[in-house]
A and B are shown apart, each in its own frame.
Chain A
Amino acid sequence: MRAIPATLFLPQPMSRQPRAVALISGGLDSLLAARVVMEQGVHVEGINFYTGFCVEGHTHAIRKKDRARPKRNNALWSAEQLGIRLHIVDIIEEYKDVVLNPGHGYGANLNPCLDCKIFMVEKAHEWIVANDFDFIITGEVIGQRPMSQRRDTMPVIARDSGATDRLVRPLCAKNLPETLPERNGWLDRERLYAFSGRSRKPQMMLAASFGISDYAQPAGGCCFLTDRQYSVKLADLWQSRGRRDYELDDIMLLKVGRHLRPRPNFKIIVGREEGENRFLEGYRKRYVHMFPTSHTGPLVLLDGELAAGDLELAARLTARFSKGRDAASVVVQVGDLNGNVETLDVLPLPVEDIPADWYL
């Protein structure tokens, strides 16, 4: 057996500035983690993954009432605060396997948080290899999240992502084994942190010490898959189609409107206001759709295989959600997938005839 040279265990200095990529979610923790490493003279760039389930962006753009809100992309905003580049990566297609087949299972809803984190670190690892960077930074804190940020899951993420000891969690590094950047002297362990638990105070104090006062409110609400109602709609989509799959448009539409399933073979998506109606208009060529012409009311998409009587039921529901809900009749225009148009004169469905379990 050959002896391992003792020099292998000595710090490995670099001829160039060390480079790290930070997973930037737009929240405070990832912002701080990147900043802590930048303070040690490391060149940091950010990476942000777009799964299709991200909350910000779409919801702001669609609903008219949200249009007055600032539409900033928090990941880009974080990058600007840090003065670093941000690479936004579309992982919509690859991410399907994470959502559909999470090896570590789901959280309280259809959120595959641990598999998601492993996947994102894996993609970041591929990125650092392709771009000649040295390590990865995340804002994870032991005990912060019940599924993905626990003491026992931290090594699982490092191992299963392939990043191993090139994954640094600067906010809780002192609670974890030494990583390669620390051993090689690229990072001083003493200038990293030992945060743990759900308290946000240490992060807020650290933010204050950096002069950071404006940041996105920390919460688990950056992903629609953590939302119970959204998960119910996604599960309904899979059940009604008889297969677990989705396209980007499917998951976009789940974010918009009221969804009611009056029959097992079809559901309706009802625009709740002008912004949503405008968004749904973009789907008129791909869905049978209807809207009232005698009264102000919503655009409604019908998703599924329609049977006899379904159009009339959908039209009565459309009338129910229109300004003519108390009228004796409402005229509803129906458009099919071939561009044919017909009108139905219907009695709005009484509210007591709409069972609560039709609402998804």
Chain B
Amino acid sequence: MTDTVLDARRLLCPMPVIRTQDAVQRLQPGQTLQVLCTDPGVLHDIPAWCRVHGHEILDIQEGEDDIVIRILVCSPD
């Protein structure tokens, strides 16, 4: 299945987290979200948000300019 892509580049935390939260709410369990970011704060904040909401981080890639985080949407417990 293709990832849904969220472009959160040039947004500063916590805006990428808020956009991620909003995007995840529109997805079903089992779907994946790819978040493109530039603020290094997301390296901590998006995984933390996923932990408190029970979603899974599949992958984090740090490039020269961008950070790409893939999230698996999980069922609410």
* Residue positions of A touching B, CB distance < 8 A: 48, 50, 54, 57-58, 60-62, 67, 70-73, 76-77, 79-80, 84-90, 252, 282
Contact = CB atoms under 8 A, between A and B. Distances in A.
B40 A85 contact: no
Contacts, number: 65
Given A67-B40, A71-B43, A77 B48 contact: yes
Interface string B8-38: 0010111101100100000000000000000
Contacts of A67: 40
Nearest to A54: B14
A350 B3 CA distance: 56
A58 B13 contact: yes
A72 B48 CA distance: 9
Interface of B: 10, 12-15, 17-18, 21, 39-41, 43-45, 48-49, 51-53
Given A88-B18, A90-B18, A57 B49 contact: no
A58 B45 CA distance: 12
A87 B44 contact: no
A57 B13 contact: yes
A322 B54 CA distance: 49
B51 to A, nearest CB: 6
Contact of A73 (B10, B40, B41, B51): B41
Contact of B53 (A48, A54, A85): A85
Given A73-B44, A76-B45, A88-B21, A58 B52 contact: no
A61 B40 contact: yes
A86 B43 contact: no
A88 B44 contact: no
Contact of B14 (A73, A79, A84): A73
Contact of B12 (A62, A80, A85, A90): A62
Sorted from nearest, which 6 A-B pairs have the closest CB atoms? Answer: A57-B13, A76-B48, A71-B41, A58-B12, A61-B39, A79-B52
Contacts of A84: 52
B10 A282 contact: yes
B12 A57 contact: yes
B52 A57 contact: no
Question: Which of B15, B43, B51, B52 has the most chain A CB atoms closer than 10 A to its own CB?
Answer: B52
B28 to A, nearest CB: 18
Contacts of B49: 76, 86, 88
Contacts of B43: 71
A88 B52 contact: no
A90 B18 CA distance: 7
B13 A61 contact: yes
Given A76-B48, A79-B52, A80-B52, A61 B17 contact: no
Contacts of A62: 12
